[in-house]
Structure 1
Amino acid sequence: MQKFTHLLMPAALALSLSAHAQTRQVTGTVLSATDKSPLPGVSVIIKGTSTGTSTDPNGKFTLPLAAADNDAVLVFSFIGFEPTEVRVAGRSAIDGVQLKEKATGLDEVVVVGYGTQRKRDLTGAVASISAEQVAETPIARADQILQGRVSGVQVTQTNSEPGGNVSIRIRGTNSINTGNEPLFVVDGFPGAGDLNSINPSDIESVEILKDASATAIYGSRGANGVVLITTKKGKAGSNNINFEAYTGVQMVRNKYELMNAREFAEYLNDVREQGNENSSSPLPLPYTQEQIDALGEGTDWQDEILRPARMSNYQLSFNGGNEGTRYNLSFNYFDQQGIILNSGFQRGTVRLNLDRKISQKLSFSLSSQVAGTFEKRAFVNSSGGSNGGVLLDALRISPIIPVRDEFGQYTYSNTPLPYVEDVGNPVAYAEKAKDHRTTGRGLFNVAGNYEVLKGLTLRVTAGLDYRTIQADVFRPNDIFLGRLNNGSGSRSETNRYSWLNENTLTYDTKINENNALNVVGGLTFQQFYGNDFSASANNFFTNTLGSDNLALGANILTPNSGRYTNTLASYFGRVNYRLFEKYLFTFTMRADGSSRFGKNNKWGYFPSAAFAYRLIDEPFMKNLTALSDLKLRVGYGVTGNQEISNYQSLARYDVGSYASGSNRLVGLVPLNIVNPDLRWETTAASNVGIDVAFLQNRIYVTADAYYKKTTDLLLRVSTPRTTGYNDIYLNAGSVQNKGLEFALNTTNLNGEKFNWNTNLNVSLNRNKVLDLNGEYERYVGASSSSLFVGSGLGQTSVLRVGEPIGSFYGYEFDGIWQSTEEIQASGTRTVVRPGDPRYRDLNGDGAITALDRTIIGQAQPQFIYGVTNNFKYGGFNLSVFVQGVQGTDVLNLNRYELESGLTSTNKLKSVVNRWTPTNTDTNIPRAGSTIRRSTGIVNDVLEDGSFVRLKTVTLGYTVPKFSKVVKSASVYITAQNLVTWTKYSGYDPEVNSFGSDNLSLNTDYNAFPSTRTFIAGLKLGF
């Protein structure tokens, strides 16, 4: 044993000497960057490890460091200061590390129109979404960032198809016949509204200007609010490479429960029996009982066209620079399949943002992006007997017929005729018909800044937004869709571009300790151009080349082409004055001249003023230690809306032609009456707000009340037939919006290991039509679409003075007629039978006519809200986002078709419980009843569209450092649209088949189903 001990002692000594040789100490001091005083208690940790120490009362630290970690990075962190990283680089002493005080929420700088401001100095209603919030959720479109995150902003996914649009309303609907979408400004370029080509991963922050005092700087385009998007820029001091990738799967969230094959056969027999009762030439029943007994479930057409669909995103960026040059270069590829067969969206982007400081006075910046998108659309509206398309025909076609026949070919159309509607095979539509769209876009904005005098800066920008859109549509002649014209094809190309020049002077000075002044003045000029061309043909003898060679169509149709331009010139100025750091004043004026308006009203003027009082800075507030901020705000301003098509004030002509023998004579047809007085809509808005914070800003509350009145509406007004025209744009009518907004941000727990914060927002808006050029009401709505021509649907909404836009208009359901005796006793003059639906005779004339219609529901919600909870524990982070809409109605026209529309199409499973003489306890009409379809919409197809949605859940983990090359690594999983609590029976309550159409809100007809999505992702930093 002694011998063994003697052998161990030299070995232990050698290991000790080796360890000592491999370990050394790094010392240093940490100071405050503000006053250079030492900071005690600062945490100093080797990045990616748990090894660390803290500074002593003199700000000094000593940290053991292995020799192998000569290139280690030290992380310095301290409460109230921004974390700082320093690379050791072989040094043994690191003295004078300076920590900057962390900007509080009030000192954060936010982007406003033509400048920036501290949050504490804002006088208007401005909301901000940070880079951290942007990064929380993988999204397909940049405007989806706003959904449920900001009070006063309602974002509706009007079309869930990949590449589909969203509709955004900021503080309600101002207009009737013009646009209600906000103005989007991307890196200072106004009017960059096509956000499909903007890569969300490139976004640094989003600011939403909501009230007139904030938006008046954009004048004639500010009435609907302004969304400012700032993309990522380089940061001096480091060079970083970042890579992110995620992939996921989408699945349909909900399906309609339809009749199976046996139930549909029984239904068709029932319809035929009902029809034979009053027919002089009865038809035999389509199916015998033996045939019905042999049928099973049949074809589930929803399952045939819907599929789990993948989506993926790849982002590579290079970011960094020094004091002279900063850069951010990114590459992105996004690919999303649609859950309907043969649909999808792809986007590729390259972005370069560059900042170059030439001298102390002169600097330049470049914001640029080149993007390409490709859409494969599933919404091929079919011709002939079907007014639907892939989705709607999948709901209506018979479940009895198979997808393919005994020869393996697609079944051509519905059978058996004439008992069923003559529609085609929707799987054949999806697989063989083509509707593609390719878009290329370049967005460039170059700016030069020159400091003329101390505090006085001249900024000159030049920008270009260029878009080219190519559409390619083909309907082959071997499917039902192309049968009427033996196949058809079309090609079109649209080019849109605008160029921008802005020239601003900014004077920013602190006059003395108590007075500060910021003045901005500018001149801008923006011009828009466009041209279109399209060609089409039909009667193809072969489908081989599709629309690639339209000459293969025997019938070449007349081509179309067009060109337009419009110009906007503006002068503007803004003064921000700060007195004693607590009295804040803002005055704005903008003058806009537009070529869109009449020669007598080319120019419009848009002033605003706002005042804020930082009450917290008064001496008598100092004793209220629980209160950390209190600011009162009031503002008033006038903004405009010019979103109508070009040349509406001028005499316009269209091509007219007619045949004379074998010749086609072409001429011009006047389109409209000249209106030299046409001008902007004008929205005058007032806002009162309060910002209050408690417990060192751990609880921060913002509340606003607003009132808006839009006058001189750009309203389409009917003209007498003697004029030869149908209508004209006039400045007439008015609309009112008023509402309340509330936002709450709380830091619930802020420990060393565990953090929890909550963001809550609630908004309510009340809309009212005040005037319609002297009219009391107008009937509008979905029937204006070609989908409903000849359907008997009638108008679905009403514009009525005193009521909100989006008022559904129809009949009130009153049960089912049960017997002939009941019908006779009622005295009704309407021809009905037992089993037909009964409607309320509101005017008491004994007949159901258009005079019995009334307002049956509202598309405008009572209130909207969103709640986000963020949790962090160690390397784990969890984000849970809940979105809600309450008190809104949705017109379910899919149900209108599937429950009481054409009697010869498949129906909802609920129709199995239809009225029969032996089944009277039901609200479903008898088989064969056409009363509902021929009458119009009824409140029983108007459903409660309220919902609470677990919109996004993201769980992430930051991986401890494991490599000298990899600076950071994290992984995450995300679930989107995980659960939706709603009474709505359709695919999804958040829908509008008519996009941002103001007069057909909340209408569900043939809308692409929403999806539930699961995503896994990875982020790496080098």
Structure 2
Amino acid sequence: MGRLLNQTKKLMYRNYTKKFGIPDRLCHKILLIMRLTTVILIASLLQVSAATFGQRITISQRNVPLESVLKEIRKQSGYDFFYNGKNISKKQEVSINVTNAELEDALNIAFTGLQLEYTIKGKIITIKTKEEPTFMDNIIARFQAINVRGKVVDEKGQPLVGASVSIKGGKGTTTDKDGGFVLTKVDEKAILVISFIGYLTKEVNANADLSGIPLEVSNSKLDEVQVIAYGTTSKRLSTGNTTTIKAEDIEKQPVGNPLLALQGRVSGLFITQATGYAGSGVTVRIQGQNSIGNGNDPLYVIDGVPFSSQLLTTMNNVVGNSGQGNDQNFRPLNGNPMNYINPNDIESIDVLKDADATAIYGSRAANGAILITTKKGKAGKLSLNFSLESGLGEVARKNTLLNTQQYTEMRREALKNDGLEPDTTRDYDLFDKYGWSTSRNTDWQEELIGNTAKYNNFQTTISGGSSTVQYLFGGTYRRETSVLPVEFANQTGAVHFNVTANSLNNKFKMSMTGNYVAGKNQLPSIDLSQYTLMSPNAPALRNPDGSLNWALDAGGGTTWGYLGNPLRNLENRYTNTTSNLITNMVLSYNLLEGLDVKASLGYNKLQSDEVQLYPISGLLYSEQQDGRGGNTLGTNKSDYLIIEPQLTYRRNFGPLKVDLLLGSTVQEQNTSSLSIGGSGYTSDSNLDDLSSAATINFFFSDKAEYRYNAIFSRLNLNYNDELILNLNARRDGSSRFGPSNLYHTFGSIAGAWLFSSRDFIKESLPFLSFGKLSMSYGTTGSDQIPGYLYLDLFSPTYRNPYNGIAGVHSTRLYNPALQWEETKKLRFGMDLGFLADRVLLALNYSINKSSNQLLNYNLPVITGFGSVSSNFPATVRNRNIELSLTSTNFKNNSFTWTTNLNLTVPKNRLVKFPDIETSSYAQFLVIGEPLNVFKAYKYEGVDPATGAYQFRGADGQLTSSPNERTDRTELIRSDPKIYGGFGNTFSYKSWSLDIFFQFVKQTSRNFNFGSYPGAFPPGSGNQPLAVLNRWKQAGDVADIQRYNADFSYATGNFLAPNSDKGFSDGSYARLKNASLTWTAPQTWLNTLRLANLKIFVQGQNLLTITGYSGLDPETANQLSLPPLRMLTAGINAAF
């Protein structure tokens, strides 16, 4: 046995060392090293922190006498002060807010703006008045140069590493690991300019000793930190097109999926929700659809770890993020893995759109990127925060349908048109028999989707730390139910932690972040929204004893029809239990001044276990007589490992700042799935036990491996914060392509000119406070295709054995020439600030062209294969005009009013597709039109003579039976024409009101034609009120053809909804979110001994303004539950 194991190990080693990517043994070692390193570092750094914590100063006082500040510093440090009482007035008030600051930094902040200086000898601090230089001192200084030594800190006295310090118009440098800097041979009259991302630029006079220069946090949106690929920047200095959404905007919205918090808030980003069920999926598009046949989802990166855009599933009731694959007959529900990212743990979400922002990610970000940064610990005393939120949800809109009188009149008219009389054995709805009633009028919308959903969310966090170690630990529990008659719940529990540490000399830094989410989502096997069109006089759903009412006729058969009692579907329960672990460790070390080495190690494990039960009680009545239940069980796993070593070099050469990044990526993803189905269960009590199944219907297993390597670099050149050049390059390698096409190179170039810094602009346009022109061009690619398409694929023939022996058969032809899709992106941008940046305007125009499309090429039947994957020379173009506007309309000590607006005008076109006429794609693609175009018939109303729908064919003639291939002459474009959002925030003292509208201009399907008006399919017999405008007799001019009960006019009922008349304006403006918050004043906090207290009320999807006639203009689907209107209230407290 031992010899066999050794041989097996050798064989495994040989196999894995030949593979593209990371050997499994190395993966195991890396994870082990990560664990050991974490334990050792945290233990050692906590000890160091404990030993040094008492030597630092923490004070937060505002407008207090200087003497009281000195007393507090003496108390904390043990240093005594010596000064002349005449130099320090008791009326001299200062403000200071420092946390774990060094003694000198605390003193410098305390003395800011005062004509005082100090010296430290031993444990004595001597304070005296600054001496004014004499006339001779000034004369001598003119001919002397000095060496300037200083330190740059934040408002709390913490060193700012990497801050830029330069002589105005001359040379410069950056601060080191301690925030310190040295400039030699500086004119004593020179002015130094200090800047750092997110802080106000400061100018100071040169001095030999400039220790403790405090920078203030900038309140301007231009200086907010933006997270970009492998770094940070600000909107002021960015050369790309990036939008940032902060935690305060996310926390105002009661959503389980963080992507829903972005709806309408980011220009160039269009998000739609699939259904109103908790945990259902969303469709996300950044600047349109680039690919014809493959993935169009953006890259998701969470704390540096790429995250899947598709939910793992082996069943049909949950499909991926793209929103494709809805099966309206069985399972119109979607799932999305982002439901397993806790919105409460997010610090910011950055949406990267153009080539400059995404090219360094290479092929993974051809469709843009969404970077999610979770919350981190901050230095300070221990803080405990908890939040409790609870609320209710409901369907906001309903269809206006026929009542029972209108319905029965329609049915009788239909029978009369067909020369028929009502029949008690067929037309149950026209008689008071078998539970049907001509006097009952049931609103099935109220009965089936009219209940109240419940929302509960609880969160708690603990954070704090010293200057060397900061930590944050948090937990969340969320539970959401649906509006169905039976409670279906989506429950999620999450744990989040972050530990950040640095050595005493700040050379070594470590940050480890982890998120674990466990969820259990119960979904119905079918969306009951489609049953809301049942006849209004249909029987009650339940008998008096609570059992399902099958409305049996005299012969013992059900009168519900082939769909059966809709509540039976609620018996067929689907449960998805998912766990998601994301952990990331970043280690960095400062080798030399400006030179840092960093390694990022990330791991993601996503597992989904699915159970679909078909109990006897959920079967159709006719099937229940057999008494056999069934099940389907599935499990899906994904393990993702990524390692990214990086080297950064930063240095100032006079006014030129150089920032160089070199790095590489090694990542591996392994997925596996297993599903099995059984039937023949005679009891519902053991449905989840496969050994009790009479028959195993199927067994399926699958494994896939994806490996990806890359090297990348970025060079950023910044001249005097006026001219900026950014260069990106990346060489990608993907295991999804054959050996001859494994690698591809991508890159970008971008530049920005901050023209508002020029003197002639300041003089001629004094109202213009900021102005920037930018441009970017680059290439990205896509490998979003299934694995192994370049190989021959085989499947077992276990269902068709030969002489009892199962073999294999070929299922797909190989194509070793398969190549990457490529997208070229060009962007022009302009950013303007007016009135001291009170008004900020950003305009961007982008053109993206995606070519070398990866599609299926149809093959002749003689080959034995339907198609083969291949690259087509087709080109898709997306043009986008994006506008963003923020303004501070009014601001004083008690009241502030701000406004934000974003607007996008997209235009998607298929500009090239050689020989499309002879391909299968000619059925749904048109050159010069969007990819989402629908070929419709030309509707010409109802024939006054016959009462049948008529259409105009391609030959110009009227017909009631147009040709499917040649007469679809009308083109319906369903892509949004304009979309965006508009919001206002009002703050008055302790109150804050935030109101945000989302708007979309689009064309959607309407349902005014109904579904076979006059016929009696029990599951969908009712109709919209629009069908009342029907043809009754010869000569009538109407929109709806004659009522018909025997489906003799069924063709027209199918053709009319697929004509241009079957579409209408689906535009809407929605009050997406409203939030009212009260923050307790400081006097209350002091009384309650709290650090913070907020009470809030929030609403989601509160009001929709639209002319759309269906349930909801966003989903535009009568068979899907619309997004719910939510109203919640909560409290947030910190100790």
Q: Tell me, yes or no, whether TM beats 0.5.
A: yes
Q: Give the drift of 1:560.
A: 1.0
Q: 1:304 to 1:216 in 2, by over 3 A?
A: same
Deviations 1:301-339 (A, max 9, x none): 322222111101111011211111011111001111112
Q: Is contact 2:454-2:481 (8 Å) kept?
A: yes
Q: 1:415 to 1:616 in 2, by over 3 A?
A: farther
Q: 1:673 to 1:310 in 2, by over 3 A?
A: same
Match of 2:542 in 1: 404
What do you get for the CA RMSD once the two structures are aligned?
3.3
Q: Give the drift of 1:901.
A: 8.5
Q: 1:316 to 1:482 in 2, by over 3 A?
A: farther
CA distance in 1, matches of 2:548, 2:511: 58
Deviations 1:894-938 (A, max 9, x none): 965475887663122423554323994532222223123444722
Deviations 1:958-1003 (A, max 9, x none): 1222435311111111121111011212221112xxxxxxxxxxx6
Q: 1:947 to 1:144 in 2, by over 3 A?
A: same
CA distance in 2, matches of 1:836, 1:920: 11
CA distance in 2, matches of 1:614, 1:719: 56
Match of 1:28 in 2: 66
1:817 and 2:930 equivalent? no
Q: Once structures 1 and 2 are overlaid, which stretch shifts more, 765-774 or 306-315? A: 765-774
Q: 1:117 to 1:483 in 2, by over 3 A?
A: farther
1:326 and 2:470 equivalent? yes
CA distance in 2, matches of 1:759, 1:718: 49
Trace 1:341-352 onto structure 2 (pairs within 5 A): 341-352=486-497
Match of 2:358 in 1: 215
Q: Is contact 1:299-1:403 (8 Å) kept?
A: no
1:560 and 2:673 equivalent? no
Match of 1:931 in 2: 1051
Trace 1:370-449 onto structure 2 (pairs within 5 A): 370-378=516-524, 380-381=525-526, 389-396=527-534, 399-405=537-543, 408-412=546-550, 421-430=561-570, 432-449=571-588
- SS of residue matched to 1:666: coil
Trace 1:217-236 onto structure 2 (pairs within 5 A): 217-236=360-379
Match of 1:1011 in 2: 1124
CA distance in 2, matches of 1:210, 1:562: 35
Match of 1:839 in 2: 951
TM score, norm. by length of structure 1: 0.83
Match of 1:600 in 2: 740
1:491 and 2:603 equivalent? no
Deviations 1:496-521 (A, max 9, x none): 11111110101111122x11100111
1:879 and 2:994 equivalent? yes
Q: 1:684 to 1:559 in 2, by over 3 A?
A: same
1:690 and 2:830 equivalent? yes
Q: Is contact 2:471-2:500 (8 Å) kept?
A: yes
1:638 and 2:753 equivalent? no
Q: Once structures 1 and 2 are overlaid, which stretch shifts more, 150-159 or 496-505? A: 150-159
Trace 1:469-488 onto structure 2 (pairs within 5 A): 469-481=608-620, 484=623, 486-488=628-630
Q: 1:298 to 1:551 in 2, by over 3 A?
A: farther
Match of 1:243 in 2: 386
CA distance in 2, matches of 1:112, 1:876: 34
Q: Is contact 1:414-1:424 (8 Å) kept?
A: no
CA distance in 1, matches of 2:114, 2:550: 83
Q: 1:249 to 1:470 in 2, by over 3 A?
A: same
1:367 and 2:510 equivalent? no
- Between the two proteins, the alignment pairs up a number of residues equal to 902
Deviations 1:677-732 (A, max 9, x none): 11211000110001110111101111011111100011222122222111222111
Deviations 1:176-223 (A, max 9, x none): 111111101111112354311111111111111110111001001111
Q: Is contact 2:876-2:911 (8 Å) kept?
A: yes
Q: Is contact 1:955-1:974 (8 Å) kept?
A: yes
Q: Is contact 1:394-1:426 (8 Å) kept?
A: no
Deviations 1:734-761 (A, max 9, x none): 1001121110111111110000111110
Deviations 1:563-616 (A, max 9, x none): 110100010000001123211001110011000012211101101101111111
Q: Is contact 1:473-1:490 (8 Å) kept?
A: yes
Q: 1:460 aligns with which of 593, 596, 599?
A: 599
- SS of residue matched to 2:339: helix
Match of 1:174 in 2: 290
Match of 1:831 in 2: none
Letter in 2 for 1:971: I
Q: What residue ranges of structure 1 are gaps of 5+ in the alignment?
A: 1-24, 32-36, 46-54, 61-80, 87-95, 382-388, 781-794, 820-833, 992-1002
1:805 and 2:918 equivalent? no
Q: Give the drift of 1:44.
A: 9.8
Trace 1:508-657 onto structure 2 (pairs within 5 A): 508-512=650-654, 514-546=655-687, 548-623=688-763, 624-657=765-798
Q: 1:426 to 1:314 in 2, by over 3 A?
A: same
Deviations 1:224-274 (A, max 9, x none): 111111111111123211111111100111122333444444444444444
Match of 1:942 in 2: 1063
Deviations 1:750-779 (A, max 9, x none): 110000111110111111012234214877
Q: Is contact 1:902-1:930 (8 Å) kept?
A: no
Q: 1:954 to 1:664 in 2, by over 3 A?
A: farther
CA distance in 2, matches of 1:901, 1:584: 69
- SS of residue matched to 1:133: helix
Match of 2:1003 in 1: 889
Q: Is contact 1:197-1:373 (8 Å) kept?
A: yes
Q: Is contact 1:107-1:119 (8 Å) kept?
A: yes
Match of 2:1080 in 1: 959
CA distance in 2, matches of 1:865, 1:673: 45
CA distance in 2, matches of 1:968, 1:99: 26
Q: 1:664 to 1:400 in 2, by over 3 A?
A: farther
Q: 1:506 to 1:98 in 2, by over 3 A?
A: closer
Q: What residue ranges of structure 2 are gaps of 5+ in the alignment?
A: 1-62, 70-87, 98-109, 116-152, 159-210, 310-336
Q: Give the drift of 1:374.
A: 1.0
Q: Is contact 1:259-1:906 (8 Å) kept?
A: no
Letter in 2 for 1:320: G
Q: Is contact 2:536-2:1022 (8 Å) kept?
A: no
Q: 1:228 to 1:195 in 2, by over 3 A?
A: same
Letter in 1 for 2:766: T
Letter in 2 for 1:818: P
Q: Give the drift of 1:435.
A: 0.8
Match of 1:743 in 2: 884
- SS of residue matched to 1:213: helix
Match of 1:50 in 2: none
Q: Is contact 1:182-1:224 (8 Å) kept?
A: yes
Deviations 1:361-418 (A, max 9, x none): 111110101110111112x24xxxxxxx533134246632111236542123798989
- SS of residue matched to 1:127: strand
CA distance in 2, matches of 1:482, 1:441: 40
Q: Give the drift of 1:798.
A: 2.0
Q: 1:979 to 1:301 in 2, by over 3 A?
A: same
Q: Is contact 2:356-2:776 (8 Å) kept?
A: yes
Q: Give the drift of 1:805.
A: 1.0
CA distance in 1, matches of 2:969, 2:558: 37
CA distance in 2, matches of 1:414, 1:921: 42
CA distance in 2, matches of 1:288, 1:854: 41
